[in-house]
Every structure is written in C-alpha cells, then in structure tokens.
C-alpha cells in the first residue's frame, strides 16, 4: 500500500498519494504564491534625456524621440518626394497622407459610419477638398484637418469623387 502524504498547500492539508499536492489547483495556488509571475515592485522606465516616467519598455519620451514626426511642419512636397515614395506615381503618391487622414479621423469622436447614407459596416475617410488641389507647400496637418475629412461608404465615396454626390 502507498504511503499517504499531506498536501503542501497550507490552505488545504488533505492527505494524498501524491508526494506533494492533492490536486493541480492546490499546486497552482501554492506555486503562484511562492513564485509570482510579476513582482509588485515593477521596473520603472524613464526618458534618457529629460528623466520623465514612461510606459514600459520605452527609453525616450515623444519630445526626444527622433522617430516622432511633427506633421505640422512636414509639407505635401516633403511626403511625395521622400525616398519611399519614388516608386509611386499618380494618386498613389498621396497614400501616406491618406493613411494619416484615417488615423486622425479614427482618433476623433466623429461617427464611424457613412455620413451620407449611414452605412456602418465599412467606411472610407475622404478629403472634401482633394489633396491635389492643395499647394505643395501646405503642411499635412492642414490637409488632414477634421473640417476637410468626411467618412463615406465605398459607394458614396465613389459617387463623391466622380461628381454624383455633393455635400
């Protein structure tokens, strides 16, 4: 006959044939207390330049991060003549500006549905005044103001771009 052992979980103390624990749940409770996955005193992260506290795993704040772009200073000409846009031509050269427009629209509290017909499954963010009508020295922040953006379903967007829909 097998020898009975007392469960190592201090809250349980049942007798078991297993040399340590009576069940998996007792083992999990014991191990979670003895070997926690996260310590209560988590490591804090600070900006290397100014020393302000940051979210985990960041080393620079937005003010000192060279990868953060100030779109109020970048113009349309800067975007379409950048090294990455050389392979695009026609309307594709404005792709980055459209991407930024969608991001700006999604951050706002404007409705996430077609503002003309109310379709809510999928929407496009359209420029009321097209990008190509702006001067090349216009900052991206001016092109992508919320006053110049509207959400439209794909059908209404096509109609708007081809002159069948007026706002």
Distance CA 37, CA 14 (A): 26
Residue 2 has pLDDT above 80, yes or no: no
What's the pTM value of the predicted model, to 2 decimals?
0.61
pLDDT reported for residue 153: 95
- According to DSSP, residue 10 is labeled T
Name which of 152, 160, 145 is nearest 101 in CA terms.
Answer: 145
What is the distance between the alpha carbons of residues 28 and 22, in angstroms, rounded to a whole number? 11
In the chain, helix, strand, coil percent, each to 5?
A: 35, 10, 55
pLDDT at 1 over 60: no
What count of Cα atoms within 13 Å lies in the side-chain half-sphere of residue 129? 11
Following DSSP, what letter does each residue of 141-166 receive, concatenated? HHHT-GGGEEEE-HHHHHHHHTTS--
Most confident of 24-38, 76-90, 100-114: 100-114
Cβ–Cβ contacts within 10 Å for residue 157, how many? Answer: 19
Is residue 71 over pLDDT 90? no
Q: How far apart are the first and last CA of the chain?
A: 87
The per-residue pLDDT for 115 is 94
| Pairing relationship of beta strands 124-127 and 15-16 according to DSSP bridges | unpaired
Q: What is the band of 156 on the pLDDT scale with cuts at 50, 70, 90?
A: very high
Task: Output the pLDDT for position 83.
Answer: 67
């Amino acid at each position: 006959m097998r020898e009975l052992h007392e469960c190592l979980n201090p809250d349980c103390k049942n007798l078991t044939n297993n040399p340590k624990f009576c069940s998996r749940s007792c083992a999990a409770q014991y191990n979670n207390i003895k070997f926690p996955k996260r310590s209560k005193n988590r490591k804090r992260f600070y900006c290397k330049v100014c020393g302000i506290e940051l979210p985990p795993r960041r080393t620079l704040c937005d003010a000192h991060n060279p990868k953060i772009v100030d779109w109020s200073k970048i113009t349309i000409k800067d975007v379409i003549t950048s090294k990455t846009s050389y392979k695009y031509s026609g309307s594709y050269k404005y792709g980055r500006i459209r991407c930024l427009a969608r991001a700006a629209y999604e951050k706002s509290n404007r409705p996430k549905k077609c503002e003309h017909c109310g379709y809510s499954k999928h929407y496009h963010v359209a420029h009321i005044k097209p990008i190509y009508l702006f001067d090349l020295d216009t900052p991206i922040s001016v092109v992508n103001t919320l006053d110049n953006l509207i959400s439209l379903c794909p059908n209404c967007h096509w109609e708007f771009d081809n002159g069948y829909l007026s706002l």
